Chains A and B, each alone.
Chain A
Amino acid sequence: MKERKSGRSSVQQQQQQHLNGHFSPFKFTRLFDPDASWDKDQLGDVLHWIRQVVALICGLLWGAIPLVGGIWIILFLAISSGIIYGFYAMILKVDEEEYGGHGALLQEGLFVSIMLFLLVWILVYSLAHF
């Protein structure tokens, strides 16, 4: 049976921390810790930045090889969304219902990442191959 983690008590803990004015600095080890508790905003931000990094890497790769054609945009979307889903569902094992459902988590940073991916892809392709 797949384990699900409730974020309710963790949200209350985070709120209490905010009220007390004690903010713990972000620790990257939390990214791979399935026992870590996540505030909705924190998780959203992490997913946003993961999408941007994936967009940057894909743009650099697609432009350098180069990969040409609109189909590679679809592939980027599939890879990017797959990584995000794998991260929150399999590594963090969060209960997506506590964070607004799969849609809310998958759309974090989606549009901006598409723009960034296109920008990097176009730039690398134009500068490296002409």
Chain B
Amino acid sequence: MAAAVFPNLKYSDSLTVVGISVCTAVVCEAISWILIYRTTSYKSLKSSIDKASKKLETMKTDSNPSKLSVKKSKTKKIDRVETSLKESSRDLSLFKFKSGAVVALVLFVVFGLLNSLFEGKAVAKLPFVPLRIVQKMSHRGLQGEDPTDCSMAFLYLLCSISIRSNLQKFLGFSPPRGAAGAGLFPMPDPKSN
């Protein structure tokens, strides 16, 4: 597609991959909005997680009481709020998982389509030699031994993570920071996949 528009560019297929990734991201977020984000269950769960995490933060940063009995009761309160937060996070994950099957199907179909279009073809050139473990994906299905040839799968992975994550963030669909599993490296919300 991009090859027809930009015949002089050797790696114009990379633009096709990015374009399809952008469209897929928009479609997936639209489906997620219809099935998940606009529902009252999701809104109430998100609101309770936000409130619980803010409450927990306030309780933890308040000055430490000197009396042991007051300290014990404060610790119990913190434990209660933490338990409530974990339960709400679990419920949220479960809720999104059930509705995310449709989005997963869309992604599967799109990946299959891209695979059929670009199998065995280098869609881009890497400006670095990736680690061996990364080459399993970046050189997937490609002929030859040049480690800087980039397969569709690797480029699609980069597109998916960067474009979808930022789109979710921009639209306000990212999981709340207080939710369990936000982790060191937050990925695009997997329950929307």
Contact = CB atoms under 8 A, between A and B. Distances in A.
Contacts of B54: 11, 15
B143 interface: no
Q: Taking chain A's interface residues, is the majority helix, strand, or loop, or is none over half, making it mixed?
A: helix
Interface string B157-188: 01101100110010000000100000011110
B126 A122 contact: yes
A115 B154 CA distance: 11
Contact of A127 (B11, B61, B184): B11
A127 B177 contact: no
Contacts of A49: 169
A68 B187 contact: no
Interface in A104-129: 107, 110-112, 115-116, 118-119, 121-123, 125-127, 129
A28 to B, nearest CB: 16
Given A112-B186, A119-B159, A62 B177 contact: no
Nearest to B12: A127
A70 B134 CA distance: 13
Counting contact residues on chain B (CB < 8 A from A), the size range is 20 to 34
Given A69-B128, A115-B161, A40 B57 contact: yes
B158 A122 contact: yes
Contacts of B11: 126-127, 130
A63 B127 contact: yes
B127 A66 contact: yes
What 9 A-B pairs have minimum CB-CB distances, sorted nearest first? Answer: A111-B185, A116-B162, A126-B11, A126-B124, A115-B162, A119-B158, A115-B161, A125-B127, A70-B128
Given A112-B161, A122-B126, A125-B126, 5 more contacts: A67-B127, A112-B166, A122-B155, A130-B10, A130-B11
Interface of A: 8, 11-12, 15, 40-41, 44-45, 48-49, 52, 62-63, 66-70, 72-73, 98, 107, 110-112, 115-116, 118-119, 121-123, 125-127, 129-130
18 contacts: A11-B58, A62-B127, A67-B127, A68-B127, A68-B128, A70-B129, A107-B184, A107-B185, A111-B187, A115-B158, A122-B126, A122-B127, A122-B150, A122-B155, A123-B14, A123-B124, A125-B126, A129-B125
